Amino acid sequence: MREPLHIVGSWSHRLWGLSSGERLRRQVACAGGAPVDGDVLMARADMVLDQRLVDAMLKSGSVVLTRRIPQGAQAIAAMVPAAQAEAAEGLLRAERLNAETPGFRILTAEELAGSYNPELRKQETPYILSMRETPRADVEKRMFRGSYKGVTDIVTKYVWPWPARHATRWAAAAGLTPNMVTTASLALVVLVFYLFWRGSYGAGLVAAWGMCFLDTVDGKLARVTHASSKWGNVYDHGIDLIHPPFWWWAWWAGLAASAGAGELRAALDWSLLVVLFCYVADRAAEGVFLHTFKMQVHVWRRADSMFRLISARRNPNLVILSAAVIAGRPDLGLITMAGWTAASLLIHTARIGAAFYERSRSGALRSWLESPR
């Protein structure tokens, strides 16, 4: 009897430290487990599949996944009952499909999984990469690009990709796990709090940007090595959600120690209260939008996605604080951040109102990313 997972052919090159067989096993684990009821999932050893394709194949029943080639179409992977496994393997070993493939449902990547990726908030056809046709470095580069979120902040989107790809490659070669990287970022969270509290803003910002960088690397490492887990997701996102208010509190404490009494101290106190209240309220507003409309507020309209680049999350706020320290006015950094956090809350609240109006007028909302380009 065939095993539920089967690699067709052989290929010696590793990607992100993984062989073809190990990569498929990890992808299946990320998708929720191996096929059951006698089904067999098989894939060519020289091909690399987007995680979304593996997810979709495990849910789709009997299917043969193909890609277009100059000579027609080529079978890449299959999810079939055990009784059809031998015939499906024959299709995968062939260089191209014959015109007739009776008994099989033949789909392309886009037909199988669509072009919208809600988890990573972007419109992108799932990739199928041939290691015979594409240099390994280019395959890894494409896999890394596929691990990136489409809607995110300006630093993550435009500053981190190049260094993060090299750091991710090093981490994979060193055998580091995503949770190890997340733990290192947690250590920096604590260090940043201590440095801000002491008023050591320059050193604190260096550590803060280091933490933000590692926060990018751990997620990319998890996706390219298919090492995502429920605990890792909770661990990473829990840290992301909780730590910013503590950083801003520590920033205030470092200023308050030398501000004394007077108008500046009052402005700093009010700024802290505004930052803390608006941060919690803003995240709650985003949660209301997600719960009500089943999508994040930043993927509804193109303008919402553009606003995500600069909305008052951690990285844009750190840009404000960094500019203030360079100018020698960390106090103005906190005051400016308070104003921007309040403005972001108002904008998100207005978007919730607009969404309720739109739903009452035309029914369910649809993300602009779901629309064909």
- In this prediction, residue 224 carries a pLDDT of 96
163 in the same domain as 310: yes
Q: Is residue 162 part of a domain?
A: yes
157 in the same domain as 112: no
- In this prediction, residue 173 carries a pLDDT of 94
Q: Is residue 172 part of a domain?
A: yes
183 in the same domain as 80: no
154 in the same domain as 195: yes
71 in the same domain as 29: yes
160 in the same domain as 81: no
Q: Is residue 226 part of a domain?
A: yes
255 in the same domain as 165: yes
- Tell me: the pLDDT tens digits for 203-237? 999 999 999 999 999 999 999 999 988 888 999 99
- In this prediction, residue 120 carries a pLDDT of 92
Of 280, 262, 281, 255, residue with least CA distance to 335: 255
Q: How many domains does the chain have?
A: 2
| Spatial distance between the Cα atoms of 58 and 118, rounded to a whole number of angstroms | 18
Dihedral sign, Cα of residue 267, residue 263, residue 250, residue 314: positive
- In this prediction, residue 33 carries a pLDDT of 82
Q: Distances from the Cα of 268 to the Cαs of 2, 195, 331, 333, in angstroms?
A: 68, 18, 7, 10
In three-state secondary structure terms, 117 is strand
Q: Is residue 69 part of a domain?
A: yes
Residue ranges of E strands in the chain? 5-8, 39-44, 47-49, 63-69, 72-81, 106-108, 116-117, 122-123, 128-130
Instruction: Answer whether 274's CB lies under 8 Å from 337's CB.
Output: no
Q: Is residue 121 part of a domain?
A: no
For 367, other C-beta atoms within 10 Å of its C-beta total 22
Query: Is residue 373 pLDDT above 70, yes or no?
Result: no
213 in the same domain as 305: yes
Q: Distances from the Cα of 247 to the Cαs of 92, 203, 274, 318, in angstroms?
A: 54, 13, 14, 10
- Tell me: the pLDDT tens digits for 106-121? 999 999 999 999 999 9
- Tell me: the pLDDT tens digits for 307-365? 999 999 999 999 999 999 999 999 999 999 999 999 999 999 999 999 999 999 998 89
Backbone angles phi, psi at 152, to 5 degrees: -160, -170
- Tell me: the pLDDT tens digits for 135-181? 999 999 999 999 999 999 999 999 999 999 999 999 999 999 999 99
Reported as half-sphere exposure (CB side, CA atoms, 13 A), residue 352 has a value of: 18
Query: Is residue 259 pLDDT above 90, yes or no?
Result: no
267 in the same domain as 166: yes
The residues facing 108 across adjacent strands are 66
Structural domain that includes position 199 = 147-370
Q: Is residue 321 part of a domain?
A: yes
178 in the same domain as 239: yes
- In this prediction, residue 289 carries a pLDDT of 96
Q: Please identify, among 95, 116, 137, the residue that sits at the C-terminal boundary of a domain.
A: 116
Instruction: Answer whether 7's CB lies under 8 Å from 24's CB.
Output: yes
* Residue owning tokens 């505004």: 274
247 in the same domain as 189: yes
Q: What is the mean pLDDT of the chain?
A: 93
Q: Is residue 126 part of a domain?
A: no
SS3 track for 163-218: HHHHHHHHHHHCCCCHHHHHHHHHHHHHHHHHHHHHCCHHHHHHHHHHHHHHHHHH
Q: Please identify, among 74, 100, 116, the residue that sits at the C-terminal boundary of a domain.
A: 116
Question: Where residue 100 falls among pLDDT bands split at 50, 70, 90?
Answer: low
CATH value at residue 267? 1.20.120.1760
In three-state secondary structure terms, 367 is coil
Q: Is residue 130 part of a domain?
A: no
- In this prediction, residue 126 carries a pLDDT of 95
Span 36-63, mean pLDDT?
A: 91
Backbone angles phi, psi at 64, to 5 degrees: -115, 125
93 in the same domain as 156: no
Share of the chain above pLDDT 90, in %: 82
Q: Please identify, among 116, 131, 158, the residue that sits at the C-terminal boundary of a domain.
A: 116
Span 183-193, mean pLDDT?
A: 98
